[in-house]
Amino acid sequence: MAIKNCFFVSVCIVFLLLSSTAYSVENGGIDSLRQTSKAFASVAKKVSPSVVFVKVESIQKARESTRAQSPFNDDLFRHFFGDRYQGFRDQTQPRPERKVTGQGSGFVFAVDDGLSSDTRYILTNNHVIEGADSIRVTFQDGREFDAEIKGVDPKSDVAVLAIKNSEHKALRLGDSSSMEVGEWVIALGNPFGLSHTLTVGVVSAKGRSGLGINDYEDFIQTDAAINPGNSGGPLLNLDGEVVGINTAIFSRSGGYMGVGFAIPINLAKNIANQLINTGEVKRGYLGVVIQEMTPELEESFGIGEDKGILISQVSDGSPAQRAGLKTGDLIVKYQSIKVEDVAGFRNRVALTPPGTKATITVLRDAKEKRITVTLASLDEARDIAQSEIQSVGELGLTVQTITSELEQQLGVRSGQGVVVTEVKRGSVAAMAGLRAGSVIMQVNRHTVNSGADFSNALKQHRLGKQILFLVSEQGMARYVVLSWPK
């Protein structure tokens, strides 16, 4: 009997313990959710006073309307009836100027030197204020200020506004490079004009590029809801620090579909400080065409599985050529930091001030080599590009080395041919069917990847003889023969 009683008591104790544990687990889960909820609320309370609604106004200039669409305005009717009847006359009348409004978001931030006594700077997107004739910002407390543009950088879509006599605090800027996929983030802004709207999500991915949104891309991807009007607002971590500027969405409907993009604050901060200090952005220039490594390239170069990017072309007269970088070098480190992709490397070079001595570590013939390069500015890059424009009067065409700008404009790839920029009417090139935008990949079966290559190939050919070009147009390649009339 005693044994039975002991067993019964033991079962009761186990049951009570299990019930207590289950209650504790359930209650602990709710407590954890409450703490997370409080964290979101704390961030909103702390940062909202420094986030602004940006209202933009621009004047669309007057222009003439087109002729009214009437059969009586046909020239045939005019020939027989003239302009005696009102219905036959031109209905072209000047359209009046009209005011166009736009909206977005922004936030107060501090420059490297700290806050000014009478000026506050606001960080936003260039596309929010582009073309504005007047800009007005509104804070959460209802106060409104006229804003002036301090500087813009369309290549990165960053803009800085300045307002006077404001005492609003600047938001703390975090370190976007330390963010990890899966971390909580908070987006704050004014979607569809709904002031100071907060949404929550996670970092979905980092280093997104090649989207065609900006020239320089290194986006943080998030599933925090971002909609029209959110552009320019802050993306925040749980400490209330800005880690990005909400910029764009991927959408088939025009609204939120779970994929939003933010400019990393490390990139935006560098650009904003340059805009404030000098009014322009100076980017470093190296002078190489680079490409991602693939398993096939790794095998061909006998490199193994080393991360890095491959130099496929070195521009004549560039800092890279002067320092001794060569086609076929594998860049594995830049300033002692590993290089893993083309977009990241390009952004890091661009953010390095011109004149900086940068150390680049490459693998050449399976041996590691450190090379010091003195970076130039993109202004020098344009000068070099101009020197690689080749005009051939005898053929009636002009070609140019494919720069990153032409790559974006024409949808062609740098390091793969030269682009035809001009064809003279009635010339040999025109009669062969060449036109502006065509990419010449070979001259007499010799590959050409720059204006200099093209010029050298022609020097080896006697003019007056037929020339064989391999031409690519809209992704389709064909051979073209240039012949002189007999």
Look up residue 150 and give its two tokens.
């301090």
Question: Which amino acid does the sequence have at 462?
Answer: R
Look up residue 236 and give its two tokens.
């925040």
Helices and strands counted in the chain (H then E)? 11, 29
Give strand ranges (E) for 237-305: 242-249, 260-264, 284-285, 288-292
Q: How far apart are CA 73 and CA 44, in angstroms?
A: 62
What would you measure as the largest C-alpha separation in the chain, in angstroms? 126
In this structure, the number of other CB atoms found within 10 A of the CB of residue 61 comes to 8
**CB distance 449 to 403 below 8 Å:** no
The residue from 50, 127, 153, 176 that is catalytic is 127
Q: How far apart are CA 123 and CA 142, in angstroms?
A: 19
- Residue 391: active-site member: no
- Residue 79: active-site member: no
What are the CA-CA distances from residue 117 to residues 31, 173, 443 (Å)?
A: 43, 20, 64
Give the alpha-carbon dihedral of 141, 245, 41, 137, to 10 degrees: 10
The residue from 204, 231, 315, 472 that is catalytic is 231
Q: How far apart are CA 242 and CA 188, in angstroms?
A: 10
57: Cβ–Cβ under 8 A, 6 or more apart, which residues? 99, 100, 101, 102, 132, 133, 134, 135, 136
Q: How far apart are CA 439 and CA 416, in angstroms?
A: 8
The residue from 50, 105, 157, 204 that is catalytic is 157
| Percent of the chain as helix, strand, coil, to the nearest 5 | 30, 35, 35
Q: If residue 150 lies in a helix (H) or strand (E), which one and from where to where?
A: strand 144-153
Look up residue 147 and give its two tokens.
């804003």
Q: What single-letter DSSP state applies at residue 96?
A: P
- Residue 157: active-site member: yes
Look up residue 336 and give its two tokens.
């002692």
Which positions are catalytic?
Answer: 127, 157, 231
